[in-house]
Amino acid sequence: MAFWSSTSVFTSKVPRKILFMFTLSLSVTYLFYSLMSCYNSLQFPLQENYVYQGRLVTEETTFVTLREKLYSTSPQGYLDEELIEVTAAEKAVAISTVKDNVETEQRTLDWVRNQAAPTKTAAVYQSPALERERQEFSTTDNELRVNCTSDYGVKKLPQAIIIGVKKGGTRALLEALRVHPDIRAVGNEPHFFDRNYEKGLDWYRDLMPSTLEGQITMEKTPSYFVTSHAPKRIHTMARDIKLIIVVRNPVTRAISDYTQTLSKKPEIPTFEVLAFKNRTLGLIDASWSALRIGIYALHLETWMQYFPLAQMHFVSGERLIVDPAGEMGKVQDFLGLKRIVTDKHFYFNKTKGFPCLKKPEDSSTPRCLGKSKGRTHPKIDPDVIRRLHKFFKPFNMMFYQMTGQNFEWELEEGSDSRGSQN
């Protein structure tokens, strides 16, 4: 009774209009907070579903589907073995979320059926997960930078480069590596670090093919190995890059180099004339590029000022011919890849004198190197061959010590004058 009496006294003293406005204000405030609470409870699950959808499409669907598109020329068995892996925890989250949200599942299935239409692909790349991934590839001087393209994947600066040597077997190695589904390589030699450096890294990166997550971008330019400023420039771009050097008996390599030049310029002097400053005195002209390239220890010393041997892999040009699968296995190990390119990918071409890649299942022509490879060497005076072997021997021994590998070139003395090929 006391409460009601006090309330009556209060209401009698306060004008009814003010009391009405006060009550209305309280009601509106309560309604506003109620609506906000309801809105938040509805909004959060939708955001979670969007993030989930982006992750599911990105990690499980996109890379699998696009890998099959990019490597449709490869045998299907390789695709089955090299699909992008998703951890067990991520799969569990995906399965659980799909069960909780049928609508999201249906949208994902529709996306798969349409095989990543361009409009939907653009939406996928806007997902928070991919945005974070894109930001992780910063544009600092010493890190690999990426550039999203209209094609599937992104363009990256190379993580591995075949830097040499000329006429050592670099083209054969590159073509064999391109069979691997996790390697994407430039076909032509960019010559960025020796001829086009002033064009900048963006120009260089734009030459690279688009790659998916887990794939390695590569290029090969054999002249890098003998270019004095190339090691520093490559180190500035990516100090952790992997370098592949294909080496060959320097005498045989020099003859092959000369043979290539002779096919373009038949008027040049003979090999014997170019190899000596004074043949009577036995003074070999080490400034001639065909011979200078073969002083591998001299060039390697420059590279070792910037890169440790652990980041270099040396391929024997001779073994690449007689045992291509064996050398390819070592290269794949060095690159951290599964051994997919094996002996079943090669056959020996008796006409050319070196292995060729077997014909792909969906191609009408075999993949063999062109007419510029496998030329017959001119016959060279045996005395010149003997003198060149003697000249290169101390440099070869030094090279063996530096690399920790014995290429056994001294066992080949006398074989270079018998009209070999390559």
Q: How far is CA 24 from CA 17, 29, 124, in A?
A: 11, 9, 48
Are the CB atoms for 386 and 284 separated by under 8 Å? no
Which of 248, 258, 260 lies closest to 375, judged by CA?
260
Give the single-character DSSP code of 152.
Answer: S
The beta-strand segments (E) located in 279-316 are 283-284, 312-316
Query: How many angstroms separate the first and last alpha carbons of the chain?
Result: 115
Helices (H) and strands (E) in the chain, counts: 18, 12
Tokens standing for 167?
């006429």
> Residues for the chain: how many in total?
422
Query: What's the rounded Cα separation, in Å, for the pair 7 and 307?
Result: 89
The SS3 assignment for 376 reads strand
Candidate list 155, 166, 167, 220, residue with the active-site label: 167
Helix H or strand E segment including 218: strand 216-220
Annotated binding site: 167-171, 248, 256, 373-377
| 350 is an active site residue | no
Q: How far is CA 280 from CA 292, 382, 387, in A?
A: 21, 15, 12
Tell me the pairing of strands 216-220 and 183-185. parallel
Tell me the pairing of strands 312-316 and 242-247. parallel
Query: What's the rounded Cα separation, in Å, for the pair 139 and 147?
Result: 10
The SS3 assignment for 155 reads strand
Query: What's the rounded Cα separation, in Å, for the pair 10 and 3?
Result: 11
For the chain, give the longest Cα–Cα distance.
135
Tokens standing for 35?
């609506």
Q: Give helix 324-334 / helix 170-177 axis angle, nearest 10°.
A: 70
Tokens standing for 137?
């590839």
The SS3 assignment for 47 reads helix
- Catalogue the active-site residues: 167
